[in-house]
Amino acid sequence: MTYRKATPMGQPGDSDLRLLRIYRKVVECGGFSAAEVELGISRAAISMAMSDLETRLGLRLCQRGRSGFALTSEGAEVYELALQLLAATEGFRTQVNGLHAQLKGELNIGITDNLVTMPEMHITHALSALKERGPDVRINIRMIPPSDIELAVLDGRLHTGVTPDLKTLPGLDYLALYEEASQLYCAANHPLLEVKNITRVILASYDAVVPAYAQTPEIKAVHEPLKASASATDREGVAFLILSGRYIGYLPTHYAERWVRNGQIKAVAPQKWHYLTRYSAITRKGGLPNLVLESYLAELNQLIKKNQK
């Protein structure tokens, strides 16, 4: 089947936007089967929608079959263009709704992993307050790495995000949220717990797991004494190796609490081996007016001020 057409595509309509939303979800899920649950429609309906979209665009967007799902080069370009179009459409809808002073539309937020156990639940409480003010608001959360969150906020795919303060980008505004304490941990049966005075030299004699994700220079310096025998791309990976009983490593205290409480792990000289990570809510500088986002940020500010009293 030939997909290219000699005539250009006409003005996109509602049906085109629906097909593009399905296509976006298929790409983000990595295939038709995984997208079924997210979209709430059958695989056959997804396949028909993709065929309709390819016919409408005159392009082959993806390969699907026994070999698996893969985007064509044109499909990858259409995906990026679709993100821009859908973001612009949602922005228009949000602004029009703002004229009526009604909270309708979407809040697309990106969050780094393992923050849900933070004692200061600013994000959770702000989302709850937003939903109370605007029952029709649709909240979409993506759990992705900090660098991906920053890029998505800058290009408009996300309205806001929560990231550690690793660096300051000129195109973003920052709202300080949390200070997260981390301590050095090991399993409850680890031999390091028998040592009275734990020096840098002693630490360097035990296998340790270190983060493979970005850290500030100050936090990197805290990890320098460790014998880096393993790495992990996220905190869950660090926890796995600490719980194996073979490694020491740093975890946020709020995240480690469940295993500390169960007696599975213990902090190693917490008064000495610890550090802080600061987190901020980020938004794009000079972004278009968005009543949903502004209301969410107002709730966040109120919670932060209340916590500071």
Residue 185 lies inside a defined structural domain of this protein = yes
Domain final position from 40, 65, 86? 86
Torsion on CA atoms 111, 79, 290, 132, rounded to nearest 10: -50
Residue 135 lies inside a defined structural domain of this protein = yes
**Cα 298 → chain centroid:** 21
Question: Which tens digits make up the pLDDT trace of 14-64?
Answer: 888 899 999 999 998 888 888 888 888 898 999 899 899 988 888 899 887
DSSP 3-state percent helix, strand, coil across the chain (nearest 5):
45, 20, 35
- We report the CATH number of the domain holding residue 221 as 3.40.190.290
**Cα 54 → chain centroid:** 30
- What's the CA gap between 130 and 127, in Å, rounded? 5
Side-chain half-sphere exposure of 111, counting CA atoms within 13 A: 18
Residues 266 and 218 in one domain: yes
Residue 266 lies inside a defined structural domain of this protein = yes
Is the pLDDT score of 141 beyond 80?
yes
Residue 102 lies inside a defined structural domain of this protein = yes
Question: Which tens digits make up the pLDDT trace of 95-132?
Answer: 766 655 567 889 999 998 778 888 778 899 999 999 99
Residue 171 lies inside a defined structural domain of this protein = no
Is the pLDDT score of 1 beyond 50?
no
Is the pLDDT score of 226 beyond 90?
yes
Residues 140 and 287 in one domain: yes
Tokens of 135: 């029952």
Helix or strand (DSSP H, E) at 250: strand 249-252
Residues 192 and 131 in one domain: no
CB atoms within 10 A of CB 204: 13
- We report the CATH number of the domain holding residue 104 as 3.40.190.10
Instruction: Report which DSSP code applies to 159.
Output: S
Q: For residue 288, give its domain range.
A: 93-166+283-308
Closest CA to 114 of 213, 246, 12: 213
Residues 238 and 303 in one domain: no
Closest CA to 269 of 187, 198, 182: 198
| Res 6: pLDDT | 44
Residues 187 and 159 in one domain: no
- We report the CATH number of the domain holding residue 18 as 1.10.10.10
Residues 143 and 157 in one domain: yes
Residues 59 and 208 in one domain: no
Please answer whether residues 128 and 177 qualify as being in contact, where contact means their C-beta atoms are separated by less than 8 angstroms. Answer: no
Residues 197 and 126 in one domain: no
Report how many domains make up the chain. 3
Residues 76 and 157 in one domain: no
Residue 6 lies inside a defined structural domain of this protein = no
**221 Cβ partners below 8 Å, 6+ apart?**
none
Residues 143 and 268 in one domain: no
| Res 97: pLDDT | 66
Please answer whether residues 26 and 35 qualify as being in contact, where contact means their C-beta atoms are separated by less than 8 angstroms. Answer: yes
119 or 203, greater pLDDT = 203
DSSP alpha helices (H): ranges in 30-111? 32-39, 43-57, 73-99
Residue 4 lies inside a defined structural domain of this protein = no
Residues 207 and 268 in one domain: yes
Residue 1 lies inside a defined structural domain of this protein = no
Is the pLDDT score of 140 beyond 60?
yes
Is the pLDDT score of 65 beyond 50?
yes
pTM of this structure: 0.66
Q: pLDDT averaged over the chain? A: 88
- What's the CA gap between 263 and 271, in Å, rounded? 19
Domain final position from 86, 114, 145? 86
| Res 8: pLDDT | 61
Residues 114 and 255 in one domain: no
Domain final position from 86, 108, 123? 86
